[in-house]
Each structure stands twice: as structure tokens, then as C-alpha cells.
Homo-oligomer: A and B are copies of this chain.
Amino acid sequence: MTSHHNALTSPYSARLAALRAALEKRGLEGFIIPRADEHLGEYVPESAERLAFISGFTGSAGLAIVLKDKAAVFSDGRYTLQLENETDGALWERLHITENPPEQWLKHNAGGRKIGYDPWLLSAEALRRFTGVELVPVAVNPVDEIWAGRPAPPMAPAVPRGVELAGEDSAAKRTRLAKVLAEAGQDVAVLTDPASLAWLFNLRGTDVDFCPVALGYALLRADGTAVIFMAPEKLPLQTRAHLGNEVSTADRAELPAALAALAGKTVRYDPASMPVWFKTTLEAAGAKIAEGPDPVALPRACKNPVEQAGARAAHVRDGVAVTRFLAWLAQAAPGGGETEISAGEKLLAFRAMGETFRGESFPAISGAGEHGAIIHYRVSKESNRRINPNEVYLIDSGAQYLDGTTDITRTVWTGPGPAPATVRDHVTRVLAGHIALAMAVFPEGVAGPHLDAFARSALWQAGLDYDHGTGHGVGAYLSVHEGPAGISRAAKTVPLKPGMILSNEPGYYLPGAYGIRLENLLLVREAEFASQKRKFLRFETLTLAPFDRALIEPSLLTPDAREWLNAYHARVQEVIGGRLDKAGDAAVLAWLEAASAPI
């Protein structure tokens, strides 16, 4: 495939030459450029889009290595085409990150040589995988040096989140965590995930798209006090007052001195998720590193009753928007006039009508026909196409409301003709898996990897499967992808706990034809039995919007599954229908009544 870029007119050739000159000046023979920001998070600010600046590649996962005489850019199977389209083959080898791991490529092409890396952009674990070269940390990223017009790092203010939304004040949270640290014999914990700061200090922000965090770092001490490292302009007076006396603030520039003061202390640090800069700086300071996961991750995942109530309320508003959208689509789709982009915009507009709507929780995936089979499809002006009559259309989207984060996928048949039997067979198997997981009851101690098969069994019985996890954690007005628990064979064996919110999204994808995914969010709750010797858990489905009955083959569902589906649809009709206006929304109500009728 030829590149869309022309080496003579694109800026990337000059950028690469400038970077190589900068490396030469520092005595480096190469440099590693991951797609990452200084928090190693999923959503990165524009100022950290170094991979896109140097290579042109804008995918959400990747890494480049620039040597004196060659360069390579790596990404995964989701981005094979995009990588080819966005980068110049004359400048870059374009490689699959698991089939041709960058670590091997580097060892092979630059064995023994001095290779630079930015210690803020790689975790200790990621760095450890690079072997056979001499790795040299840089104090200033050379890409930033040559990046004329680099956007300034975001400076949005961190704003307090009241206890009426957070459900627990920061002092209580810090006391809980302090006990965990003290019991583990740890003096201090490093926090680098902005979502951990957001939860621990009851703060939110707007520094990055989709996830309402303020970028910063913190040190939490075993006495419950803490210090937040954030630019002063991000911390208005009102926020400082909210933080109280036990939480001090300092500029990020003070971080090295603060770590240097930890000589002799035992400091908790996560080598998997935190920049290696913290490790080397702590070691140089004479601190003792206790490896362990971010102590905020587990308590943050277990939503308290106020957060649970917020999630329920947000899902009702989101369900109203999605229902309006589905009713609109049922009218619009058979005509064939709408496109993937216009449909996505329509849904966004319905959501924006909702109280406390703050934006999307991730870029919506709006895929018609064969585009639906591309699991992480992101429609662009170039790829946008009409939604045709009589095809499968998939839309995976979510929203941030002040009281909760949503994520829902529906797959619909555009009509007006009936859906083919094979499509209904595939959809119904996906639905059977979705329902099996939604109905699961299990004792405490069970983790996501132990439940994943419930969602796949009906597909497996037909020799079918899907190549992604079944569920990810979802935050409380925080990241739509939140650890530490997940429902997937590859997920960590973190036992599910009451209050966790996880997605339930089995799918099936027929490349070149269509994609199916049915996603609701689940809340983990205690199950109650008459004479129970141990604690059992079950799921409450939070998401409220009809599944397309045109794609369901009732005879393929067990009686229990049919009962679940009918009860779910009855609840959707009662709750969502109850929020619609009998006069103004008459058409939506009529559609909803038919869409949620029992099968």
C-alpha cells in the first residue's frame, strides 16, 4: 500500500532530521517515543502527543523508535490501516507491536548502542523489557525541544467535588488509606494517576478530553496527610480551602526535592503503572521502594451508596437519550439518508439535553455494516458512509454526567425488511451471553476471569467467539476504563466487590459484513439468601435502553433468559417511559412500548 503522504511536502521528514540532530548533540544513537503522557494514562493532552508530532500516527496506542539511519513505528491490529495511511513508508518501518515487538527490533538494530528515553513516559516494567542496549534517561525530552508551537500543557482548574456527589469526604478516604499503608509498614504512597487524585481529594478537572480529571501527582502519607503537586494556577483559593489543612499543595517543580526528602522512608510505588522517573529518583534519594499497586485503585472501584445512586440517576438520563435516539433511528434508518457521523451527532444532541451532561466519556463508535466489524472503529470524514436500509448498525457510546459515567452499545437492524436468520442467530447468542452474565450469582472471592465464560458460552457452543474482553471497570464521573477489576481471561484476578461498576459487552464480528455488541453496565451488589453461610454477590444492570427485538430469535433463548429479557424491557419501559412526556414524546413512547414488549 502506498502512503498518502509525500516525503517532499510532509513535515515529518524535517522533524525526523531535527530530532536526529538533537540526539546527536546529546551523544544518543536513538530515542524511544511511546504514545503516553507523564501519567501513563489512556487519554493524553495535546502537549503529550509526541508520537503524532514526530510520525503523524494519531492512534491511541503505539510507540516509535528513532535511530540514526532508520526509524520504526509500532501499533496493534486495530490500527494497521491507520498506521499505513498516516505515516510515511519512506521514513518509517510500520510494524505490528506484538508480532514485531519494539524491544526485539531495537536490540536487533541498535544492539549495545546508547538509546535515550524519557523516564516520565515509560513505567519501570515497560523499561525493563528493553534489553541489549544502553538505556539513557533524558532530563528534557528532545521531541519537545524541536517541537515548535508545542501546545502548552493544560492548565484547567481543579474543582471541588462536593460530598453530596462523592459520598465520602477526603479526610475519611485518606484515613482509610492511611490505615492500609500503616498496616503494610509503608510511610508514603506515590500517586501518579490523575483519577486517583480525583477520587482521593474529591476533585475534578477538564485537562483531557473524555475523563474529568486535573493532571497532577500526590504523595499520601501513612498519617493521612498528603501533598498534591500541581501548578499553582490549577489550584484556585476555593479548591485550596476544600482541601483543608491536612493536604498541602506544591508546584510540580518541587517534586524532585519532595522525593529527595524521603531518604530512609518506605515508599509504595507501582512499577506497572507509574513513570520510572519516580523509581530512579526515590532510589537515588535513599528511599526504600515497596512495590505495590496504586492504593487508591481498589477503594475507588468500590462505589459508595451516594456514588451508586448517582450512577443510577445518570443511567436514567442516559437511557432517555439513547431511547430517543433509537426511536429516531427506527424512523430515519430505513430511508438511508443518515450517515455514521450524523447518527453519532444525533445521539450526542439527545444526550446534551440531559441534566448535568458534561460530554462524551469516549469517542463514539458508530459503525454501519462492515464498519461494525472493526472493533475499535472511529469514523472519520474519509471513512464515513451512509447507514443503509436492511443492514446491521452498531453504536457504542457513553457520557459523562456530574453524577456518573455511562457506556452503552446497541446493535440494530435498520430495516424495513426482516433480518436474516443467521444474523438473528448471531445476535441472540451474544444476547444469551449478555444475559447469562447479567444473571450471574457468585460468592465473594470470584474474580472477572472466572465469569468471562458465562458471556461466551452460547457463542462457543456454535464455534464462535469475540477477540476482546467482556467487561471493564467504569468510574464515578471518572474514567470510562477503570481498574483494577475486569471481566476477561486476561484481566487481573481481582475479586469482585460490592459497589464495583463493570461493563457487560459480549460481541460477535463477521469481517467485511457486520459487527454485533450488546453492552450494559453492571453494578456489583450483595445477594441475599435465606440461610447463607458466606457472602454472595450479584449484578444490578444499570443501563436502561431496549435491545432490538428485530434481531432476537426467541427460540434460541432459555426460558430463564427470556424471562430476564422481558423483565428488563418492562423495567426500561416503566423507568424511561416514565421520564418521557406523554404529549411531547408521544412518538418515542409509542416506539418504546413496541420495542419493549415481551417476546
Q: What residues of chain A have their CB less than 8 Å away from a CB belonging to chain B?
A: 440-443, 445-447, 449-454, 456-457, 460-463, 465, 489, 527, 529-532, 534, 536, 558-560
Contact A461 B445 (CB under 8 A): no
Residue from A457, A531, A560 having most chain B Cβ neighbours under 10 A: A457
> With A441-B457, A450-B453, A558-B560 given, can you name 11 additional A-B contacts, CB distance below 8 Å?
A440-B453, A440-B457, A441-B463, A449-B450, A450-B489, A453-B454, A460-B536, A463-B527, A463-B531, A465-B534, A558-B558
Count copies of this chain in the complex.
Answer: 2
Contact B489 A529 (CB under 8 A): no
8 A-B residue pairs with Cβ-Cβ distance under 8 Å, sorted by A, are: A440-B453, A441-B461, A442-B453, A450-B452, A450-B453, A451-B453, A460-B536, A465-B534
Contact A442 B460 (CB under 8 A): yes
Contact B529 A463 (CB under 8 A): yes
Q: Which residues of B contact A460 (CB under 8 A)?
A: 440-443, 536
Q: Which residues of B contact A440 (CB under 8 A)?
A: 453, 457, 460
How many angstroms between the C-alpha atoms of A446 and B465 in the bound complex?
A: 12
Cβ distance A493 to chain B, nearest Cβ, rounded Å: 8
Among residues of B, the one whose C-beta sits closest to the C-beta of A489 is B450
How many angstroms between the C-alpha atoms of A369 and B558 in the bound complex?
A: 35
Contact B536 A446 (CB under 8 A): no
Q: Which residues of B contact A530 (CB under 8 A)?
A: 463
How many angstroms between the C-alpha atoms of A462 and B559 in the bound complex?
A: 18
Q: Which residues of B contact A534 (CB under 8 A)?
A: 465
How many angstroms between the C-alpha atoms of A302 and B244 in the bound complex?
A: 63
Lowest 10 A-B CB distances belong to which pairs? A463-B529, A441-B460, A463-B532, A441-B461, A463-B536, A450-B453, A442-B460, A443-B465, A450-B489, A558-B558
How many angstroms between the C-alpha atoms of A275 and B559 in the bound complex?
A: 55
Cβ distance A527 to chain B, nearest Cβ, rounded Å: 7
Among residues of B, the one whose C-beta sits closest to the C-beta of A439 is B461
Cβ distance A459 to chain B, nearest Cβ, rounded Å: 9
How many angstroms between the C-alpha atoms of A434 and B429 in the bound complex?
A: 22
How many angstroms between the C-alpha atoms of A457 and B440 in the bound complex?
A: 7
How many angstroms between the C-alpha atoms of A451 and B456 in the bound complex?
A: 11
